[in-house]
Every structure is written in C-alpha cells, then in structure tokens.
Amino acid sequence: MRDPLQLFPKLEEMGEAEVRVRLASGTFGTDSRPLIQEWLDGKDKAQAIFSNAKRDAREEETLSIAKDALAIAKDANRIASEDLSAARLSASSAFEQARWARWAAIIAAIAALLATKDQILALIAHNL
C-alpha cells in the first residue's frame, strides 16, 4: 500500500508499539515499509518535540522558583542588614550608658567619702 492517506489511519488504529513490532518482524510488505518508517519517524519527532516542550516548561518553572528564592533571599538580607545596624546602634548606646553609669558611681563614691570624712577621721583618731 503506497497511499499514505489510506495507510496512516490504519497505522494509527494499530498503535505505534504494534506497528514497530510488525515492522521489525517483517509483517509489512516491502513496498509499505518506507511509508511506515516515515510514519514512525513522524511519531518520533512528535515525541521529541513534546519532550523538549516539557523540559523547557520544567526549566522555566525552575528558573521562576530560583528567581523567587533570590528575591526572598535579597529581602532577608536587607532585613538582616537593617537589624544589624539597629543592634550596633543599640550596643553603642548601651556602651555609652555604661560609661556614664561608671562615672556616676565614681562621683557617688567620692561624694559619700566627702560626706562622711569627718566621721571616718573621728573613727581613726578614736582607735589610735
């Protein structure tokens, strides 16, 4: 059978797997083999196109996910940088407050000594 319009619908009915088995076993006549091979090649090309389209779709999805992850990571990095700046400012402020607290403690100790100096001297003189 040399007419593709008649042969191809029959091949479709048989299905690709059956056609491949019959072609390999030599069931088809020699005059039909080139058309059958052409039909199978068309099926192979269609499958390759379909596979490539699926792969491209997966790659696009992966790229989209990667872009989203990058945006999230950049956001997290920005937030962490802001928090680091705030923490540094807070630490600097705490250090400054601690320094002033030390000075206040020193001044209070000196004031206490001055306020009680007469009593301290009296105690020393009394024990001598």
Tally the residues of the chain: 128
**Domain coverage including residue 49:** 4-92
Q: How many domains does the chain have?
A: 1
Is residue 76 domain-resident? Answer: yes
For the record, the structure tokens of 54 come out as 């699926």
pLDDT score for 1: 55
Is residue 13 domain-resident? Answer: yes
CB burial string 101-120: b at 16+ within 10 A, e below: eeeeeeeeeeeeeeeeeeee
Is residue 54 domain-resident? Answer: yes
Is residue 40 domain-resident? Answer: yes
Is residue 60 domain-resident? Answer: yes
State pTM to two decimals.
Answer: 0.52
Is residue 123 domain-resident? Answer: no
Is residue 99 domain-resident? Answer: no
Q: 53-76, pLDDT tens digit by residue?
A: 999 999 999 999 999 999 999 999
